[in-house]
Structure 1
Amino acid sequence: MRALTEFWRDAAMPYAESRRACDSRACYRPHSHATFSIGAVDGGGSCFTGAPGGSVTLQVGTLVLVPAGRVHACNPEPGGAWSYQMLHLDAAWLQGVRAEYAGDDSAAIRIVADPAAYARFCRLNALLFSAAAAQYKEAALIEFIGAMDGAQGLRIAAGPASARCSAQLQPVLEFLRHAPGVHTELADLARLAGMSRFQLIRSFRAATGLTPHAWQLNQRINRAREHLRAGAGLADVAHGLGFADQAHFQRVFKVHAGVTPGRFRA
């Protein structure tokens, strides 16, 4: 069966975006999103990476809730295909919703294997993809968030990082965040943090889950998503974010997003 991927976006709800994929064999590199992500396994087997103790096998009917900035990857079992749904929510919008009722704003990843929660998510996503009015979709989305904040499941806390290391890394994080397309030598980043290259790599991985350059590449892909949603051309995005050419951009984008940039934009 041919793999199928479809996206839902609505200008009336710019804080939400959803995806449905059927019989996908696409594999993702470890990555993070600027959004809060909720994934659901609809078919096949999947391996979740992002837990300090190693990978977690996800069964059909499992939900995974990933806060913004947490490095993770969900991939089909070796040689297999899987079907899934993925909902992305703007982190600031979600924080505003939760502030109204003191909801769960922790940085922990949660894995929820509850048939009722899975069924509720499927109904929500079906509504988002439907022709229903935006106000009905927003109400259902807010109601789902409140219900899931009280759901039980496996909690995967963020890895420990010392306050001193976190403070030293801030200049590097800010530099990479504001210059995602600028190539910078590891030695220059180490000097910026006042660390050796080894200390920088070890501290950066402990704090973010990625090496400095992998984290910067992830930032470039997240920025590319924003430009593509706004309708920017592929060549312009590739050039503006420092990729060697459009073909290079397409290869890197696909291993992070699971689809080509052209398919994502369409």
Structure 2
Amino acid sequence: MIVIAAEQVHQCNPDDGSWLYQMIHMDQNWAASLATTDGVAALFSGVTVLRRPDLHHRATAWSELIFSGATAHRIESRFRELVDELGAATPEHLVTGDSDPALSGRLAPVLRRLREDETNPRLDELAETISISKYQLIRAVKQATGLAPLAWRQNARIQKARQLLRDGHAIADTAHELGFTDQSHFHRVFRAHVATSPGAYRA
């Protein structure tokens, strides 16, 4: 089992061959709020790899429960037990997020603009807002997020797109709201990030 914290840069593609896996996406704050043990803080701080067949079976049983018609109370209760067990388990491999609060704070206005500005802001203009060079900005954003500025922007836009599509927004409206030049461009970028089309994701 692999637990990947929110905002943690990762990829799910194998180096060789193919993988078969099930993914469950959830709100991290909600998941952490259900825990009753302190170990969950570490669980949601990076990437945690657990090799415990019993926990794998518990997680699979819980995911099946979601589609079984069980009540929300029962689903939440079973998940609370599962997340406590995951937090208490000893990981076989752990990659922690190397966040630097001072750097993150300094970059906050840049990341906010990258996330919210529908235009494509120039790197030298963004760098000027926090009094560094364009190349220093590229290095700083990559250090703080794991991605170069424009790659981070694309990822943030697709995360927002997923939210809008889940909320029932039309594909064309979503593409327009996020500043994509046209729907086909949005389709290509979305598929590259999510491995499915916006239409299939919305369905």
Above 0.5 in TM-score?
A: yes
Residues 4-153 of structure 1 correspond to what in structure 2 (within 5 A)? 63-78=1-16, 80-98=17-35, 100-106=36-42, 107-153=45-91
Q: Aligned partners of 2:50 and 2:107: how far apart in 1?
A: 33
Given candidates 115, 119, 122, the residue that maps to 1:177 is: 115
Matched, 1:225 2:162: yes
1:216 aligned to 2:153? yes
Q: Indicate the residue corresponding to 2:94 in structure 1.
A: 155
Cα offsets for 1:140-180 (capped at 9, x unmatched):
111111110111111101135473x333212212222333x
Runs of 4+ in 1 over 3 A off after TM superposition: 100-103
The secondary structure found in structure 2 opposite 1:65 is strand
Normalised to the residue count of structure 2, the TM-score between the two structures is 0.91
Structure with the higher fraction of residues in helix conformation: 2
Once the two structures are TM-superposed, the CA of residue 113 in structure 1 deviates from its matched residue by 1.5
1:191 to 128, 131, 136: 128
Structure 1 unaligned segments of length 5 or more: list them: 1-62
Counterpart contact for 1:161–1:203, Cα < 8 Å: no
8 Å CA contact 2:175–2:183 kept in 1: the answer is yes
Q: CA deviation at 1:72?
A: 0.7
Q: Normalising by structure 1, report the TM-score.
A: 0.70
- The whole-number CA distance in structure 1 between the counterparts of 2:29 and 2:139 is 30
Report Cα offsets for 1:212-232 as digits up to 9, x if no partner: 111111111011011101111
Cα RMSD of the aligned pairs, angstroms, is 1.7
- 1:245 is matched with 182
Name the one with the larger strand percent. 1
Cα distance change of structure 1 residues 114 and 101 upon mapping to structure 2, 3 Å threshold: closer
Q: Distance in 1 between matches of 2:177 and 2:46?
A: 34
CA distance in 2, matches of 1:67, 1:186: 28
1:236 partnered with 2:157: no
Aligned amino acid, residue 265 of structure 1 = R
Determine what percentage of the aligned residue pairs are the same residue.
38
